[in-house]
Amino acid sequence: MITGNYPNLRLRRNRKQSWSRRLIQESELSPNDFILPIFLVDGSNKREPVSTMPGVYRYTVNRISQVVDRAIKIGIPMVALFPKTKNSLKNEIGSESLNKNNLVCKAIIEIKKRYKNKIGIMCDVALDPYTSHGHDGLVRSNQIINDETIEVLINQSLLQAEMGCDVLAPSDMMDGRIGKIRKALDKSGYQNVQILSYAAKYASSFYGPFRDAVGSKGSLKGDKKTYQMDFRNSDEALREVALDIKEGADMVMVKPGMPYLDIIKSIKEKFRIPVFAYQVSGEYSLISNAIQKKLINEDAIFESLVAFKRAGASAIVSYYADRIDKIIK
Ligand code: PBG
């Protein structure tokens, strides 16, 4: 593959001027590459900072236009909604996930009413924002039970689709849920609702600040290692993706992002489908705190995001998305 020899070939020749470097650039970023996560909180007229994520806020539904306006203005194609559910509404079976008036449902309705199809809406399918134990599924005798969890996830999916959600994103890692959700959607007339499967989701320490943002931190009992993947594995990620494609996933997600660029690349090379990357809360907080402390400079954000494109990601879920216009400049 090496196609020349020094001194005939000097790779620095192409790097000598900015115009020349621009000509040979392989990866670029545009606002089209981003999905903006939005944290929701109950009440009204609130925009409260998430203490573990500098620059990130939770919005009440009546204030959501503040952030969606901005997303549309800079050209972000989609937002992802995450609720901070009041503790008094959480229980063992996460029944608030099926409440037509829960935060996510209210936010979908508000966004669709205000913006029609100017921006896509993605919603997580999983129970962790709603369960008192903080797990993504139902728990019995200390086990996360797969098939019964899927029955609830199907209902959560149908409800979110009915409200107007465009892209359902099962992030629960139960076996077989993509196929069952696809089938239920089709049967109910939601053939056009897309599924973005969190196919390769690892049991990771990088989710810490997110669990704080959605208020599941203190409550999580144990860990998620019986359903989320072991970070030592990559072949297993390909098996997860292969299954989800067969079951009807339109796109797949790799999560976390930066420590898993190899996974993004091998999925893209093997399957040639849209692969999304999630630059998760812990990655965001590490970079943001290091910048605040002047350990690294702000350009690190752009570098961290281009890395996903270089690895083969089609789009990136990032808490920086609402500022991406400035970051790209
Ligand atoms: C829950 C979910 C998690 C994230 C997105 N959806 C956390 C978890 O699995 O515990 C994490 C996102 C982030 O850290 O930014 N199903």
pLDDT digits (tens, 9 = 90+) for 98-155: 999 999 999 999 999 999 999 999 999 999 999 999 999 999 999 999 999 999 999 9
Cis before 274 (ω within 30): no
- Whether residue 24 lies inside any domain: the answer is no
Q: Which residue(s) pair with 171 in the sheet?
A: none
Asked whether residue 14 is assigned to any structural domain, the reply reads no
Q: How far apart are CA 153 and CA 308, in angstroms?
A: 29
Overall domain count for the chain: 1
Does 242 reside within a domain? yes
Q: Is residue 17 in some structural domain?
A: no
pLDDT at 68 over 90: yes
Ligand 1 pocket residue status of 39, Cβ below 6 Å: no
5 belongs to a structural domain: no
pLDDT confidence band for 44 (50 / 70 / 90)? very high
Beta-carbon contacts of 187 under 8 Å, excluding residues fewer than 6 positions away, are none
Closest CA to 30 of 325, 287, 291: 325
Query: So what's the pLDDT on residue 217?
Result: 77
Is 190 a residue whose pLDDT tops 80?
A: yes
Cα of 287 from ligand 1 centre, angstroms: 18
Provide the pLDDT for residue 73. Answer: 98
pLDDT in tens, 280-319: 999 999 999 999 999 999 999 999 999 999 999 999 999 9
Q: For residue 65, give Cα distances in angstroms to 15, 119, 148, 211, 214.
A: 44, 12, 36, 24, 20
| DSSP annotation of 322 | G
Q: How far apart are CA 121 and CA 111, in angstroms?
A: 8
Best residue among 136, 207, 217 to mutate for probing ligand 1, ranked by most atoms within 8 Å of CB: 207
Domain containing 42 equals 29-328
Q: What is the pTM of this model?
A: 0.97
> Rounded to whole angstroms, how far apart are CA atoms 55 and 36?
13
58 in a domain, yes or no? yes
pLDDT, average across residues 241-251:
98
Give me ligand 1 centre to Cα 94, in Å: 16
**What distances in angstroms separate CA 181 from CA 44, 125, 144, one per listed residue?**
33, 10, 19
| Whole-number pLDDT of residue 1 | 78
Tokens 């990032």, residue located: 318
Q: Would 4 be classed as within a structural domain?
A: no
Q: Domain containing 248 — which CATH number? A: 3.20.20.70
Quick check: is 122 in a domain? yes
